[in-house]
Amino acid sequence: MLGKFNTLVAPYLAESQRTLLSDTLLTLNEETDTKGLLILTRPLGEDGLKVAQVAG
């Protein structure tokens, strides 16, 4: 299941961010910082955005 998660989010999140996010999601019932959790879902980068390329 972790492999599937990593495959889906790898284009958007760095490995360290994916690991932290997956660890946080696994302990979601214990989480109290929802803002911190949402921040983990945002890509890191110059402008914070990545563009998906459509195969044509």
pLDDT in tens, 13-31: 889 989 998 988 888 888 7
The proportion of the chain whose per-residue pLDDT surpasses 90, expressed as a percent, equals 7
Comparing C-alpha atoms, which of 2, 45, 44, 48 is closest to residue 23? 2
Residue 13: count other Cβ atoms within 10 Å of its Cβ. 21
Token pair recorded at residue 55: 């195969």
pTM: 0.58
Q: Using one digit for the tens of pLDDT, what is the confidence trace for 36-51?
A: 888 888 876 655 555 5
